[in-house]
A and B are shown apart, each in its own frame.
Chain A
Amino acid sequence: EAGVAQSPRYKIIEKRQSVAFWCNPISGHATLYWYQQILGQGPKLLIQFQNNGVVDDSQLPKDRFSAERLKGVDSTLKIQPAKLEDSAVYLCASSLAGQGITGELFFGEGSRLTVL
């Protein structure tokens, strides 16, 4: 079974530039999550989708971050314009519908962003 796919694995940009990350969850997983993991900290939930609807985006900095999950499968996370403090690993995870709180999240390998 294919795992959660993310790209690109690494990205270096200047501040004020834009960047986009892509995630393809495990087939059949209705719930998709984007987490931000800053060096030395645990993952922080940015946004959670159930199919193509947003369940929670309370910690997403909406002035610069946006995410979409068209057709309820792939998802894209965009940052525009980037700030130095956005340097982090962006993790995508997926789970079966309704399994998020008691089941297992399956994570991709992450996209490491460096903002100079």
Chain B
Amino acid sequence: AQSVTQLDSHVSVSEGTPVLLRCNYSSSYSPSLFWYVQHPNKGLQLLLKYTSAATLVKGINGFEAEFKKSETSFHLTKPSAHMSDAAEYFCAANRDDKIIFGKGTRLHILP
């Protein structure tokens, strides 16, 4: 069965420093993987998706993620954090034609 694990519930970085949000998936096959962002009192918005094309996926707002099958990981990165990146981030995967979400990582940006 497919599941998604986000390794950190909270991450704090200083503005201008790199961001790393970790996600591992469990599956016997390469799934479709997604990262969504949720700003306070807003709905989820798709940042990027992996669907078995290039393993390095670029998304909106300077975010990117790399699919590593050997590590069953799909970590989200950004070279330089901005205050507006403060939000909750969800990793998701398809399972039985449904999208399931991890528990989320709240990203705090320190001035």
Residue ranges of A at the interface with B (Cβ–Cβ < 8 Å)? 3-4, 40-45, 48, 55-56, 91, 93, 100-110
Cβ-based interface call for B27 (8 A): no
Nearest-CB residue, chain A, relative to B101: A42
Given the contacts A41-B103, A42-B101, A102 and B44 also touching, CB distance less than 8 Å: no
Q: List 29 A-B contacts (CB under 8 A).
A: A3-B43, A4-B43, A40-B103, A41-B104, A42-B4, A42-B90, A42-B92, A42-B100, A42-B101, A42-B103, A42-B104, A43-B90, A45-B98, A45-B99, A91-B43, A93-B43, A100-B98, A100-B99, A101-B32, A101-B97, A101-B98, A102-B49, A102-B51, A102-B94, A103-B49, A107-B43, A107-B44, A107-B45, A108-B43
Residue ranges of B at the interface with A (Cβ–Cβ < 8 Å)? 4, 9, 32, 41-46, 49, 51, 90, 92, 94, 97-104
The distance in angstroms between the C-alpha atoms of A9 and B77, with both chains bound, is 32
The distance in angstroms between the C-alpha atoms of A109 and B49, with both chains bound, is 21
Cβ-neighbour of B44 out of A43, A45, A56 (below 8 A):
A43
A interface: dominant SS: loop
The distance in angstroms between the C-alpha atoms of A93 and B43, with both chains bound, is 9
User: Apart from A40-B9, A110-B43, what are 7 other A-B pairs with CB-CB below 8 Å?
Assistant: A42-B92, A45-B100, A48-B98, A100-B98, A101-B97, A102-B32, A102-B94
Which residues from chain A contact B42 at a C-beta distance below 8 Å?
109
Nearest-CB residue, chain A, relative to B51: A102
Cβ-neighbour of B97 out of A3, A100, A108 (below 8 A):
A100
Which residues from chain A contact B44 at a C-beta distance below 8 Å?
43, 91, 93, 105, 107
Which residues from chain B contact A104 at a C-beta distance below 8 Å?
46, 49
Which residues from chain B contact A102 at a C-beta distance below 8 Å?
32, 49, 51, 94
Nearest-CB residue, chain B, relative to A44: B101
Nearest-CB residue, chain B, relative to A56: B98
B99 and A105: CB pair below 8 A? yes
